[in-house]
Structure formats: structure tokens, C-alpha cells
Chains A and B, each alone.
Chain A
């Protein structure tokens, strides 16, 4: 893969390869077909709040024939789209959804990019470093606006609370 690899390093017998964001699908396909890394272990991200491209997207692959793992990383700035590898590895589907849900990194070409752990309409990305631990008032209601018949405060009641 000429031009794809930016840098590589090794720590505790684990190899990390940093590649360019555009080439990630090609790298994944190459690892799967040519290098026999057929098992996509995990996809996640790291938020480096103050660094220039803000996020690292981290992929782990495993090869059964080599009995070895490889970690592939690419960087993404806030709002930048990363090509999705869900078409190459089915296992990456939910992992990418989780990464999107937690960090707000969009994966271009993902078949079903929705939030997975938080609910639709949640307004924030919990694993970003600027998201406070105690949570934020997202303004999103878990429960519907209408209360059941014969119970609960009316819609016009000023004391009515919407849990968010």
C-alpha cells in the first residue's frame, strides 16, 4: 500500500500502524485478503481534545493463521468523515455505530449509522473529553409528552418534569 502508511511503532509486542484516513478501506481490504487478518476485533476512537486532528480512530485486527494482532489508526478532525469498513468486515458495523454515538465521528458509507447506546435525539457525544461526567441537559425527553389517561400532571402544569 504505497503512500498509505504514515508511521508505525511497537510497544509490548503490539504493532501500531498509522495510515491516512482516505486509505482506511483499502488498508482493511488488503489486510483481510492479502495478509489474512480476517477477524476485525474492534473499532473505537480516542479524543485528543487539544491536538490538531482531534480524533484517532483505532481498529484492531486478528489473523488466525499468523496468530497475531495489528492495530491500525487514522486521524480525523471534528466533523470530518471517516470511510466505513462495515462493508469489508460485518463485525465493524455496530462498533462504528458505537463510535459515532460516543464521539460523533461520522462513517461515510455505513449502511445504518444510527445511535446505538444512547437514544435517538440525544444531543451530545458522551465520550468526548468536553462532555461533563455528571451529564448535560440535552433537552430530549425519554418519555412522550402525553401522560397516560387519568394519571400524571397535565401538559400545561408548570410543575411537570420532563426527564432528560
Chain B
């Protein structure tokens, strides 16, 4: 008589399966209670080793993504881990590469604008803006004041919606589900404003070289103003859920600390740089459109960790609301399109223009050869450059913190891969 339970056929099958996996070089699992089969004992170098060193220091390679929900798209990270600790992280990008830069070269200047929508697809207006600004710089055209103001309004609404998506999704990544519903409620309203303005909610295509495609619909400004009046109280709601939340702080304070000097070394821009204490915002440093006459604060923090980046983004949302309100007050009837020739043929020159997108510095470098299509159009995507620093941020943290770090960089894979 023995106390051991009889081994069922299913358990035998499982043991045989793992033994087979071991001989094929796969990962074997120690099978408790089942006598080792001759096949596993003979060839299972892998299996035997693992059973003995289960709790010792052991490097393991872990494939994170590309179909993991917390990667916010198709990002693959090859992790070298020791237990839960990350020794090395290697991002592998390019799953969403569509050759946008090549497409720019084959189409006329105005035909490039819809392609920019598909780069950072949750902040299409800023992409449109950067593209149009580059061509306008090349042509040397001034755009009318009303168009400038409407562009700034669209930009800031877009920044709000982008930060709201960031807030909701990175909250969910760390287990805070509630803010998501609040954030997406407001985002839905912003998308409705876009829909009313240009007919699209995400791929806006809402700017043209030299101005705007449409004027505002009647009553739009009042509705936006109503929304903006309401917004600070709603941001208070999000802050109530997260800012002093103990779990949120435990997951974010001290995670992914980076100094301002290192940010500059890595080329990090946007909220990440500002959360490290450097007050640098292209809207203030190199103002475009009418940002120089608007009254707003560039929020900064000193810590440079995930929590500070959260605070900076929330503060930016409050500032965006302020900017939208000022622009709505300044709006006066007028032209929405500058003097741009029907066929756009810029001089054979090169130009670089950039704006402050919700993620950082978004720049376009355009080389013209005098024809009606760009000879070369290069994008400087903030997500791509910011993602580069992920191995630096993730080193030494736990795998669960990696999720927080991907969230805090605020990447959009459409822009990373283009």
C-alpha cells in the first residue's frame, strides 16, 4: 500500500508531452509525481537543469509582445530577466511600418496631409499642423489670423484628447480601471467637436497648406466653451481618483527616474523632459502661429519619475483648456485661407519645421526639387525617439513596472513605425 495517488492517463500524456517538448528544445516543466520517462531523462538537458535551478539566479529571455495589450499596439520587447527583475530590454519595432515617407514622395504636397493622420492616430490634428507648417515655411506664406486661432484650438483640443487617452489607458495598465471611463467620456465629447468640424473623428485631415479647409459651424464655439468651462472640475475628478491614491503612488513614484541632462542626451522631449525639470516647450521656445501672445504656463516637475510625468500631463490639460478659452475669446470673423497658389510648387530648397505635439517635438524635414511633389519628406517622430530610451528607463525594474514605463512614454506605434 502506498499513499501516492494512481497516475491517471491524462497526467501520463502531459508528462510525455513535456518530455517531447524538451527533446525538441522547447521549455519543459518539472512534472511532479510522475516518474521521469526515459525520453526526458536522456535528452532533457533543459528540463533537468530547470528543475534544479528554479530559485537560483538565472537569466531568462522573455518575449513581451507584440500582441500584448499593455504595449498599446504592436511593440515587441525582448527582455532578459532574472526572476521578475529586468536586466536588459530590447525593443523591436517596425510591425506597423507602411512606408509613409515613401508615399509622401510619390504624391503632391496636399495629398500628403491624409497620410499624416495615420502616423500618430490619436493626435491627428497636430500631425496635420506640423506637415502644413513645413510646407508653408518652404513657400514663405503667412496664414490669416482666424486660421491661426482655429488651428491652435484644434491643436489644444487634440492635446486634451491625446492626454485623456493616455490617462485612461495607462491607468488601466496599472489596474486603475475607473479613470478610464471618466477620461473617455470627455474624449468622446472632443471627438464629437472634431466630427462636427470636419466630419471625421480620428483621421481628421483638418488642415490645409495655407489655412483650413472649412470655417467653424454655427454654435461650435459656444459648445466648446461650455465644455471647457466644465473641464477643470472634471480634471479634478481624475486627480481625486489618482493623485493621492496610495496604490497609484506605489506603482509610479520612483519608477523610471531620469534626469534632465540624460533626457537631452537621449533626445527625449515633451512631458518627459518637463517632468525632469527642464522648462522647454516649443510653443514657448520657438512659438508658431499665435502661441506667443497667449497666456499659459509650461508645467514642470523635478523628480523625473512616472508619477511626475503623470502630474505634468494633468497640468498640461488644464493649460490646454486655458489656451482654448483665450483663443475662443480672440476669434473674429475673417479669412481662413492664405494666398497659396493652386498648384503648390515650392522653390528647390530644404526646410525643417517642428511643433509641440502631445508626445514631444514632432518635426518634418522637407527637401524640394521645385516640382509639385516633395523630393524627400522625413518625419522626426517623438514616439520613436522617446521609445529609444526605454531600455535605459526599464533597467533594474520589475516586469510589471515595464508596463508603467511603456505607458508613461506615451507611444503610438503608428508614429513609431510610420
Contacts and interface: CB of A to CB of B under 8 A. Distances in A.
Interface of A: 11-12, 14, 16, 38-42, 44, 46-47, 58, 60, 64, 67, 69, 71, 89-91, 93-95, 98, 102, 115-119, 126-127, 131, 133
A40 B267 contact: yes
B380 A60 contact: yes
Given A39-B267, A116-B93, A119-B94, A46 B367 contact: yes
A12 B138 contact: yes
A116 B76 CA distance: 12
Contact of B388 (A16, A42, A94, A133): A94
7 contacts: A38-B265, A41-B354, A42-B365, A71-B350, A90-B388, A94-B385, A94-B388
B363 A67 contact: no
Nearest to A16: B350
A163 B34 CA distance: 43
A14 B351 contact: yes
B388 A91 contact: yes
A12 B349 contact: yes
Contacts of A67: 285-286
B399 to A, nearest CB: 23
A116 B97 CA distance: 10
B384 A47 contact: no
B380 A41 contact: yes
Interface residues of B, number: 37
- Chain B contact surface mostly: mixed
B291 interface: no
Interface in B382-418: 384-385, 388, 417-418
- Chain A contact surface mostly: mixed
Contact of A118 (B97, B101, B285, B349): B97
Given A41-B380, A46-B367, A71 B352 contact: yes
A108 B105 CA distance: 28
7 nearest interchain CB pairs? A91-B267, A117-B94, A117-B97, A42-B380, A44-B378, A94-B388, A46-B376
Contact of A126 (B102, B265, B354, B384): B102
Interface in B363-387: 363, 365, 367, 375-376, 378, 380, 384-385
Nearest to A69: B352
Contacts of A69: 352
Given A91-B385, A94-B384, 9 more contacts: A11-B349, A14-B351, A38-B264, A42-B380, A46-B375, A60-B380, A94-B385, A118-B97, A131-B102
Contact of B378 (A39, A42, A90): A42
B267 A12 contact: no
B137 interface: yes
Contacts of A71: 350, 352
B361 interface: yes
Contacts of B363: 41-42, 60
Nearest to B416: A117
A92 to B, nearest CB: 8
